Chains A and B, each alone.
Chain A
Amino acid sequence: MPVRKWMLTRRVLGQAGAATALAAVVGRPARADRPYRIGALNPITGAGSTYGSGMQKTILFALEEVKRAGGVDGRPIEVYAEDTQTSPDAAVLAARKLIDANKVDAIIGTWSSSVSLAVLPITNEANCLLLHTSSAPALSTPAQNPKHLAWRFQAASHQIGDAYAAIAAHEKASRAAAMAFNNDVQIASVGFFRSAWEKAGGKLPNPVVYEPNRTSYAAELQQALSEKPDFLVVSGYVPDTSIILREAYEAGNTAKIVIPGWAMGPATVKALGAEVLEGLIVVDAVPDAGSAAFKTFDAAYRAATGNPGSSNIYAAMCYDMVAVLTLAMQKAGPSADNAAIAQVIPEVANPPGQAVSSFAEGRKLLQAGQKINYEGASGPIDFDERGDVTPVFGVSVFHDGKLEQRYLLK
C-alpha cells in the first residue's frame, strides 16, 4: 500500500525485531517494533499546486537519503502521500485517512494556513506531529498548539512584515506602498510591514488588496502607485505577481518593487524576461544558497523535478522537516513516543552543538553521544519556544537576467 516502503526492520532489528513484530500494530504511541509512519500531506492541486508536487517529491527523496545513510536506529520508516487540494475539507479527510487508515505518526508539509488550521485539531487529538509551512500566527498559540506537536518551518507573517520594513529602510525608501493578494497570509504580512514601517517613522497608505484570478491588475496598480511611492511591496503568488510586474513595467513604474520569494518561479522569468525584472527585489527565507544542506537538496531536487531547488522554498522546508524529524527520532531513541520526539526537536535543530547539514552527519555524532545543531536548506532551522522557526532572510536583486543575493537580514 505505501508509496515506498522501507523494510529496514530485519536488517536493523535483527531477530528481536522479527520476533516482536507481531506484538503490536495497534496503540498510538510509536513503538520500536512498529515502523514510524510519515504522512506527506501536500497541496498537489489547487492554489498551492505550484509547490505541492515538488514538496512531496522532496519528502520522498529526503527519506530515501535517510535510508541510504543507514536509517534511524531501531526505527524503520514508511511514508504515505496525500493531496490537500489546498482545501481545508479535502485536507481534513486526507488527514483522517492518513491517521486512521495508514496509522501515521507525523504529518508533514501542509502548506496553506487554512489547511494547517483545519488539520491541527485532528493531529493534536491523535498525538500526531504536524510539521507545516504556514504563516498564520494562530498556529503556534497555546490554544491551538497545547502539546507542542506542531512545528512551523516557514517564517510567520510578522517576521515577513518586519523583513519588508527592514528592506525599505536599507533601500532608503521615502514613500512606501503595498499590494496584497486577498488572503489571510498576504494581508497579514503587509499589515505587519505597515506597522513596522510606521513605527520606524514612515508612512504607508492603505495597502491595496486585490482579488485572485483577475485578467488585469492595472486599476489596482494605479491605486497603489497613486501617491508616487519609491518602494512597493507586492505580496501575492506566482500568476498574479507575474501579471502585476508586467503591468507595472508597461505603466512606466519607477518604484522599487519587492516580492516574497514564493511569488517568483522559473515561469516568472520565462514570462517576463530580464528587462522587466531588472532591479526587482526578492526576499526569501533561503539565507545562504551556499549552505551544504541546500547544495545537497538542490542537486536532488534538480534530479527529481528538473527545476533548481531555489524555485521551491517549501520543498527546501520539507527537506529540513525530514532531516529534523529523523534526527529527533534518532536522538529520542527507538521506543520514544511523539511527545519525547517533539521534546528533542529543538535539541537537534538549535545551537549549541556541532553544526550538521544532513541526517548522515547528525546520526554519526548522535551515535557518538555528541550535541548537534542542524543547519538546513531553508535556513538555520532554529526554533523558538512556540515552535516557530526563526528565519534569516536573504535579499536578492534581479540583475542582468539573474537573481543575485545582496544581503542578509537577521
Chain B
Amino acid sequence: MSAAVGLNLAVAGLIQGLLIALAGLAVSLCFAVARFPNAATGDFMTFAAYAGVAAQAWTGSLLAGAASAVLLTAGLAVASYVLVFRNFRGRSLVAPLIASIGLAFLLRSVLTFFVGFDQHSFHVPIARAIVFAGARVRPIDLWLAGTSAVTLLAVLAVLFLTPIGRRMRAVADNPELARASGIRARAVMLTLWTLIGACSAVGGVMLGLQTVVVPEMGWNLLLPAFAAAVLGGVGNPTGAVLAGIALGLVQALSTPLVGFTYQTAISFILLIATLVLRPQGLLGRAEPVR
C-alpha cells in the first residue's frame, strides 16, 4: 500500500466517519438524557433528506432546503417525544426502544406511501477533486467537515454554555435528583428532542448530499451510529463524534487487509470487543456527562 493510497483511504474513511459521527451524536444525546437507544434516529435522517430535497426543489436553494429540513425534522422529533416517548417515563428502557423501532417503520412507510421507492437527489454542482499533497479532497468533503464541526460545537455550546444545557446535564446525571431539585423535565426534554431532530437532520442532509436519497438510507446507518454512541461512552456526545470518525477510519484502512465485504463487520467486531474489555466505552466515564 503506497502512501498516496493509504492517504486517500484515510480521506474516504474520514468522510464516512463524519456521517457516522453525526448520526452517533443524535443517538448519544438521546442515550444521555432520555436513556434509551433511539432506533428512529436513522429514519429521522431519511425524513430530513426527503424534506431537504423537496424544499430545495420548491425554493431552488440548497441552503433553504437544508434549513427547512432541520426545522421540519426538529418538529418531527419533538412531536415523537410528545406523542410517544414522553409516556415511557419510569419504565424499563425496552419499551421506548421497541417503540422507537415501531416509529422508524412507521415513518419510513408513511414516506414511501406518498413518495414511493424511487431514488431522489439534491441538486449540487459536481466538481473534480483537488489533489492536496497526494490526497484527493472534494469540495463537498470540506463542507461536510465544516458542517460537522459547527454542529458539534453548537450542541456542546447548548449543553455547556446555556442554562437549559446545564439542566439537561443534571437530568442526564440523575433524573430523580434533578426532579427533586425543581428542574422541570418538560422544557429540558423539548430542548433535547429539538437538538436530536436538528442533529439527525444535519446528518440526513449531509448523507443525502454525499449519496442518493432512498427510503432505507438512514436505517442503514443506524447500527454504525449505535456503535459510535456506545464506543464513545454512553451519553458522551464528544465521545460519540470521535468514535464515529474512528469507526469510519478503521473501516476504510482495514480494507487492504480484510477486503471490502468485511469492512462494516470490522466496526461491529470492534464494538463487541470494546464492550467486553471496557464496557464504559473508549472515552466513557462510569457516569454519563457531568
A residues with a Cβ closer than 8 A to B are 45, 49-50, 53, 182, 208-211, 213-216, 218-220, 222-223, 226, 238-239, 242-243, 246, 249-252, 265, 267-268, 270-273, 275-276
Please tell me if B159 contacts chain A, counting CB pairs below 8 Å.
Answer: no
Residue of B nearest to A249 (CB): B126
Is there a chain A Cβ closer than 8 Å to B273's Cβ?
A: no
Interface flag for B35 (CB, 8 Å): no
Contact B210 A216 (CB under 8 A): yes
Interface string of B125-164 (1 = CB under 8 A from A): 0111100000010100000000000000000000000000
A45 vs B109: C-alpha distance in the bound complex, in angstroms? Answer: 11
Interface centre among A45, A219, A226, A252 (most CB of B within 10 A): A219
**B118–A267 CB distance below 8 A:** yes
Q: Is the CB–CB distance between A252 and B261 below 8 Å?
A: no
- How far is it, in angstroms, between the C-alpha of A182 and the C-alpha of B214 when the chains are bound? 19
Enumerate chain B residues within 8 angstroms of A222, measured Cβ to Cβ.
5, 8-9, 12
**With contacts A242-B121, A271-B121 known, is A216 near B126, CB below 8 A?**
no
**How many A-B residue pairs lie within 8 Å, measured between CB atoms?**
93
Task: Kindly list chain B residues whose C-beta atoms are within 8 Å of the C-beta of A49.
Answer: 117
Q: Is the CB of B129 within 8 A of A250?
A: yes
Over the window 111-128 of chain B, the binary record of Cβ atoms lying under 8 Å from chain A Cβ atoms (1 yes, 0 no) is 010001111110000111
Contact of B261 with A216 in the complex, beta carbons under 8 Å: no
- Residues of chain B having any CB pair with chain A under 8 Å: 5, 8-9, 11-13, 15-16, 19, 112, 116-121, 126-129, 136, 138, 207, 210-212, 214, 216, 220-221, 252, 255, 259-261, 263-264
Which one of A218, A220, A265 contacts B119 once the chains associate, using CB atoms below 8 Å? A265
- How far does the alpha carbon of A239 sit from the alpha carbon of B129 in the complex, in Å? 21
With A209-B261, A215-B16, A219-B252 already in contact, the answer to whether A243 and B117 are too (CB < 8 A) is no
**Contact across chains for B128 and A252 when beta carbons are under 8 A apart:** yes
Given contacts A219-B255, A272-B126, contact A250 B260 (CB under 8 A): no
Shortest distance in angstroms between A307's beta carbon and chain B's nearest beta carbon?
Answer: 9
Q: List 25 A-B contacts (CB under 8 A).
A: A50-B118, A182-B261, A209-B259, A214-B16, A215-B15, A215-B16, A215-B207, A215-B211, A216-B12, A216-B211, A220-B260, A238-B119, A239-B214, A249-B126, A250-B126, A250-B127, A250-B129, A250-B138, A252-B136, A265-B118, A265-B119, A267-B212, A270-B121, A271-B121, A273-B126
Q: Cα distance A182–B259 when bound, in Å?
A: 12
Q: Complex: how many Å from CA A49 to CA B260? A: 25
Question: When the two chains form the complex, which single residue of A213, A268, A272 contacts B216, counting CB atoms closer than 8 Å?
Answer: A213
Is the Cβ of A50 less than 8 Å from the Cβ of B119?
yes
Hey, which chain A residues are within 8 Å of B138, CB to CB? 250
Q: Quick check: A267 and B255 within 8 Å, CB to CB?
A: no
Once A222-B9, A267-B212, A271-B119 are accepted as A-B contacts, the answer to whether A211 and B126 lie under 8 Å apart by CB is no
Contact at A218–B126, with CB atoms within 8 Å? Answer: no
Residues of chain B lying within 8 A (CB to CB) of residue A250? 126-129, 136, 138
B5, B118, B119, B127: residue with the most chain A Cβ atoms closer than 10 Å? B119
**Please, how many angstroms separate the alpha-carbon atoms of A219 and B14 in the complex?**
11
How far, in whole Å, are A271 and B128 apart by their CA atoms in the complex?
Answer: 16
CB contact under 8 A between A276 and B221, given known A215-B207, A226-B5, A239-B212: no
Cβ of B5: which chain A residues have Cβ within 8 Å of it?
222, 226
- Complex: A82 Cα to B5 Cα, angstroms: 48
Docked complex Cα distance between A400 and B260 (Å)? 34
Chain A interface SS verdict (over half): helix
Say whether B117 contacts A267, CB under 8 Å: no
B73 CB → nearest A CB, Å:
19
Nearest 9 pairs of A and B residues by beta carbon: A271-B121, A218-B12, A49-B117, A267-B119, A213-B220, A219-B12, A250-B129, A250-B138, A239-B212
Q: Which residues of A contact B129 (CB under 8 A)?
A: 250-252
Nearest Cβ distance between residue A101 and chain B, in whole angstroms? 25
Q: Which single member of A252, A265, A268, A275 contacts B126 (CB below 8 Å)?
A: A275
Bound together, the chains give a CA A271 to CA B123 distance in angstroms of 7
Choice from B8, B126, B136, B214 contacting A276 with Cβ under 8 Å: B126
What's the least CB distance linking B263 to chain A, in Å? Answer: 8
Query: How far does the alpha carbon of A276 sit from the alpha carbon of B16 in the complex, in Å?
Result: 22
Q: Report B-chain residues with C-beta under 8 Å of the C-beta of A218.
A: 8, 11-12, 15
Complex contacts, A252 vs chain B, CB 8 Å: 128-129, 136
Residues from chain A with Cβ under 8 Å of B136 in the complex: 250-252
CA distance in complex: A242, B212 (Å)? 8
Q: Which residues of B contact A268 (CB under 8 A)?
A: 119
Which residues of B have CB within 8 Å of A276?
Answer: 126
Closest to B256 in A: A223
Bound-complex Cα distance A239 to B8 (A):
23
Instruction: Report yes or no: A211 in contact with B221, Cβ–Cβ below 8 A.
Output: no
Question: Given A208, A226, A251, which contacts B260 in the complex, CB threshold below 8 Å?
Answer: A208
* Shortest CB distance A278–B (Å): 12
Q: Return B276 CB to nearest CB of chain A, in Å.
A: 26
Do the beta carbons of A45 and B126 come within 8 Å of each other? no
A86 to chain B, nearest CB (A): 11
Min distance, Cβ B257 to any Cβ of chain A, angstroms:
12
Known: A49-B117, A252-B128. 15 other contacts (CB 8 A): A45-B112, A45-B117, A53-B116, A214-B16, A219-B8, A219-B255, A223-B255, A239-B211, A242-B212, A246-B126, A251-B136, A267-B118, A267-B212, A271-B121, A275-B126
Task: Check B16 against A216 for contact (C-beta < 8 Å).
Answer: yes
Q: Contact: B260 with A219, CB < 8 Å?
A: yes
A272 to B136, CA, bound (A): 20
**CA A44 to CA B138, docked complex, whole Å:** 36
Find chain A residues with CB under 8 A from B214 CB: 239
What residues on A are CB-neighbors of B16 within 8 Å?
214-216
A211 to B117, CA, bound (A): 20
**B112 CB to closest chain A CB, in angstroms?**
8
Within the complex, the shortest CB–CB distance from B140 to chain A, in Å, comes to: 8
Residues of chain B within 8 A (CB-CB) of A213 are 216, 220
CB of B116 to closest CB in A, whole Å: 8
Cα–Cα distance between A356 and B8 once the two chains are bound (Å): 56
